[in-house]
Structure 1
Amino acid sequence: MSDIKKLTTASGKPYSENENTMTVGARGPVLLQDFILHEKMAHFNRERLPERVVHAKGTGAFGKLTVTHDITNYTRAKIFSKIGNECKILLRFSTVGGEKGSADSERDPRGFALKFYTEDGNWDLVGNNTPVFFVKDPKKFGDFIHTQKRDPKTNLKSPTMMWDFWSLNPESLHQVMILMSDRGTPASLRNLHGFGSHTFSMINADNERVWVKFHFKTQQGIKNFTGAEANEMRGIDPDHAQRDLVEAIGNKDFPTWAMKIQVMTETEAKDFPFNPFDLTKVWPQGDFPLIEVGTIELNQIPSNYFAEVEQSAFAPAHVVDGISYSPDRMLQGRLLSYPDAQRYRLGSNYEQIPVNRCPFAVNNYQRDGLMAVNGNGEDSPNYFPNSFDDIVADESYKEPAMELDSTIAGWYDRNAEGENDHYTQPGILFRKVMTDQERKNTVANIVGAMSGISGPKRDVIINRQLCHFFRADIGLGMAVAQGLGVTVGDNMMAHA
């Protein structure tokens, strides 16, 4: 027993909860006092310089949101106060795991980060081109991203690391299935959907709250590369996606997306068969149909990439009155880690950079720090309250209290009974959503990716992952096993 290495904090304190964040009840929000979460995320945010830790390779464009439908029964946000309202936006697309010089056609989710410049402040909706994610607790995020980066010994991308993590975390299966389909290699940024991914909330003029998910449906149609086509494009033009977007907008072929929402009441959430705040799950559209909101259009390429795209900073914490958060654990973790990452990357005054600055009123008592370029408050007071200025806290913006399911705080297993169905939705995706050709391509992509697993644990990792595929769909498991040359034994089928 003396040879066992105990898991410790950076200061040497042993601890046990490295995968589950402390929450208020099994489905409640994250507690600020869980310092292990903050230590992991704060260190993770500072691991790379000067690139973004994730989403390093990206491109962006300006445009507008036009409101086409009335959703004021759900939200009092001024941006949606009447049909016909327009709002300037910035949309940044990106790959997730690659470095700044990586190829646009890599198999990877695509970031879909929107900044709405509203009269009530800037609203950042920071999602992906997928409605789900690989993990559902923020403590898992840094560990997951490490497996998508480079091996600490060889400095090479490692299929072994990736599949070892995924095989040990079955909650990843839904996103893995999407990633390994042709949706993992979009043909262009104009031909993909966007999602807020997380569950958010909306609050109306009567202080009533509903839970929402945001969808952005491309009006150009979905277009993906096969695995072979994506590999070929890496050698032909590693910047093909950025080139395509720049040229389309330059030719006034402005891409558009239909903005839609799904809405769930608080009562429906309590009676829902699974956790509606689980980022690895989708809400069935048959139960929660898409509701039309508006249209976003991209019509202007930034005049300087570094100033307006590289320096752009997004954070899900930036919401506006009428739009708010939910107990989604990953969202709660991002509320802290994203602004922290931007302060590290761009400095404490990153919101003074023109592309990030609210074009309307900004009144606060933040002063000093690196690159304070807005006059630094000049001679006005730097404390609140005071007897000299006329800045007030407007009580009309106060949100209603969020009703929680428990007052007991603790480390609740994210995959406890009732939270551990990792297979139903991936199985439905494979059997009912994908076409025959998409299923064949997905299996081929999985086999190709898993063929790179090496080392003494190769068979263990492969067999463990195969069990997940079998649990999702027997046909999927059999096809992948056959492609890898693995004989399926009774033991594997029993575990499935």
Structure 2
Amino acid sequence: MTKNNLTTSWGAPVGDNQNSMTAGSRGPSLIQDTYLLEKLAHFNRERVPERVVHAKGAGAHGYFEVTNDMSKYTKAKLFNGVGTRTPMFIRFSTVAGELGSADTVRDPRGFAVKFYTEEGNYDLVGNNTPIFFIRDAIKFPDFIHTQKRDPKTHLKNPTAVWDFWSLSPESLHQVTYLMGDRGLPATLRHMNGYGSHTFKWVNAEGEAVWVKYHFIADQGVKNMTAEVATKIAGENPDYHTEDLFNAIENRDFPSWTLHVQIMPFEEANTYRFDPFDVTKVWSHKDYPLIEVGRMVLDRNPENYFAEVEQATFSPGSFVPGIEASPDKMLQGRLFAYADAHRYRVGINHNHLPINRPLTPVHNYQRDGQMRFDGNGGGSVYYEPNSFGGPTEVPEHKQTPFQVTGLAEQVACDSNDHYTQAGDLYRLMSAEERTRLVETIVGAMKPVEKEEIKLRQIQHFYKADPEYGTRVAEGLGLSVPQEVR
């Protein structure tokens, strides 16, 4: 077979398609990595006009109320002062399906929250899983291609899905989560939400900690069987959307209690897992959940397109007291999400009512398609200036952080893809394990190449021998001798 070299769009050979260029193993990512920027920018423009991912979704308005003051850890006002209320909007979604796809498919659910704070909008763009399939944004376009339709058949392609996963062992933890019971939530109201990434909180004294977000459903977590999910998908593909709307309309307001895990800043250098690896979780024994407040959804949208379809979220929409971590996947999302909205909705998407902050906006951005406000009028349009235009606020500069290492395309520090996946498997009850194995076997049977199945079986076996053996038996195969 002739080997074809992978190239950029301008024909230059690609030296590394697995690792983005960072300053040292923990980053941050470098803007000089033009291949990473090309992949992400091109990927954002591959679908018109629906979202390239998370196309099918439902949304609601509500509020967040602080129940435990967090000013010790962050100066972000929405988390300071017991009783502080912040209006918010949330969008739930499936990841891989198109705008008209069924709600009850096995897929992660997007859990994107927009807080309209007195310091600007803060977007927490997470999922109903605390982890993800990959840990470097350079792999995201390829991963999503496997979840979309085959360009030849225009059908979903399980061979592509499992080929990618088997060649990306860091996906094993999330695959185990997705193929388990929580891959099919009973309703949007009966699932947890997670920020997934690690973020940085900074208090008024400039002291920083690392943080992970957990929205725990006050209704409890409930799931549905694969048989029920398939039946509902055929009978009412908008089941989750309808359930959420009706619950709020009937004043059965769903709510979630927000907790955080907090890691002292310096402990990130010594923790037994890379705390910035989004395929890993932090032990609750090491970093217990701390209650922050309660989110309540109490108002349905008046117009789906204006409020849900045109809602735009970006993990880079921070407010003072909340900053990014060196998480490679997060670093890529900081660019990709806002860029996708500039393409899909327009350069002035933040002027739309659903996205517009409650605080006044003062900047020197002008013009662009669909500019529908005063466009700055006749005010000064550059900075620095001598005419009293808006100026920077030095006390809100991001906190400095040390960057060391060679600028190179380098893998994450750890290649332990199996410990936490195995721990998750062993946490499941016997019945849950059986359903997990049956789901995986059913999903892998259509895979065309046996070598892909055997490669994936080795990953399951490395996580837990029973896990791999049961999947192999279900597929009529044996665990490869070299992994035993």
**TM class by shorter-chain length?**
over 0.9
Q: How big is the shift at 1:29? A: 1.1
Report what 1:449 is aligned to: 443
- Is the contact made by 1:467 and 1:493 (CA closer than 8 Å) also made in structure 2? no
Report what 1:424 is aligned to: 419
Q: Secondary structure at the match of 2:380?
A: coil
Q: Secondary structure at the match of 2:283?
A: coil
Q: Which of the numbers 470, 477, 480 marks the counterpart of 1:486?
A: 477
Q: How big is the shift at 1:17? A: 1.2
Report what 1:439 is aligned to: 433
Q: How big is the shift at 1:390? A: 4.0
Q: CA RMSD in A?
A: 1.1
Matched, 1:471 2:462: yes
Report what 2:219 is aligned to: 220
Q: Secondary structure at the match of 1:87?
A: strand
TM-score scaled by length of structure 2: 0.99
Matched, 1:292 2:291: yes
Matched, 1:30 2:32: no
Q: After superposition, where does 1:333-344 map in structure 2 within 5 Å?
A: 333-344=332-343
Q: How big is the shift at 1:55? A: 0.1
Report what 2:178 is aligned to: 179
- Is the contact made by 2:219 and 2:254 (CA closer than 8 Å) also made in structure 1? yes
Q: Which of the numbers 393, 405, 408 marks the counterpart of 2:406?
A: 408
Deviation digits for residues 21-65 of structure 1, max 9, x if unmatched?
Answer: 011111121111101100000000000000100000000000000
Q: Secondary structure at the match of 1:334?
A: helix
Report what 1:243 is aligned to: 242
Q: How big is the shift at 1:399? A: 2.5
Matched letter for residue 331 of structure 2 = Q
Matches of 1:110 and 1:213, distance apart in 2: 18
Matches of 1:143 and 1:310, distance apart in 2: 25
- Is the contact made by 2:20 and 2:33 (CA closer than 8 Å) also made in structure 1? yes
Matches of 1:440 and 1:314, distance apart in 2: 37
- Is the contact made by 1:201 and 1:211 (CA closer than 8 Å) also made in structure 2? yes
Deviation digits for residues 346-370 of structure 1, max 9, x if unmatched?
Answer: 1110101110001111100000000
- Is the contact made by 1:197 and 1:213 (CA closer than 8 Å) also made in structure 2? yes
Q: How big is the shift at 1:483? A: 1.0
Matched, 1:282 2:281: yes
Report what 2:311 is aligned to: 312
Q: How big is the shift at 1:453? A: 1.0
Matched, 1:495 2:475: no
Report what 1:137 is aligned to: 136
- Is the contact made by 1:27 and 1:275 (CA closer than 8 Å) also made in structure 2? no
Q: How big is the shift at 1:79? A: 1.3
Percent of pairs with identical residues: 54
Report what 2:197 is aligned to: 198
Deviation digits for residues 310-354 of structure 1, max 9, x if unmatched?
Answer: 000000000100001000000000001110000000111010111
Q: How big is the shift at 1:272? A: 0.8
Matches of 1:49 and 1:262, distance apart in 2: 38
What is the aligned length?
A: 484
Structure 1 runs (4+) deviating above 6 angstroms are none
Matched letter for residue 462 of structure 2 = R
Matches of 1:6 and 1:440, distance apart in 2: 43
- Is the contact made by 1:470 and 1:493 (CA closer than 8 Å) also made in structure 2? no
Which residues of structure 2 form unaligned runs of 5+?
none
Which residues of structure 1 form unaligned runs of 5+?
none
Report what 1:53 is aligned to: 52
Matches of 2:361 and 2:72, distance apart in 1: 28
Deviates more, 1:374-383 or 1:109-118: 374-383
Q: How big is the shift at 1:438? A: 1.1
Matches of 2:432 and 2:200, distance apart in 1: 34
Matches of 2:457 and 2:378, distance apart in 1: 66
Matched letter for residue 425 of structure 1 = Q
Report what 2:126 is aligned to: 127
Deviation digits for residues 94-114 of structure 1, max 9, x if unmatched?
Answer: 000000000000110000000
Q: Secondary structure at the match of 2:174?
A: helix
TM-score scaled by length of structure 1: 0.96
- Is the contact made by 2:174 and 2:279 (CA closer than 8 Å) also made in structure 1? yes
Matches of 2:411 and 2:27, distance apart in 1: 12
Matches of 1:15 and 1:445, distance apart in 2: 37
Matches of 1:341 and 1:277, distance apart in 2: 24
- Is the contact made by 2:61 and 2:299 (CA closer than 8 Å) also made in structure 1? yes
Q: How big is the shift at 1:10? A: 0.3
Deviation digits for residues 380-405 of structure 1, max 9, x if unmatched?
Answer: 1111111223422111212220123x
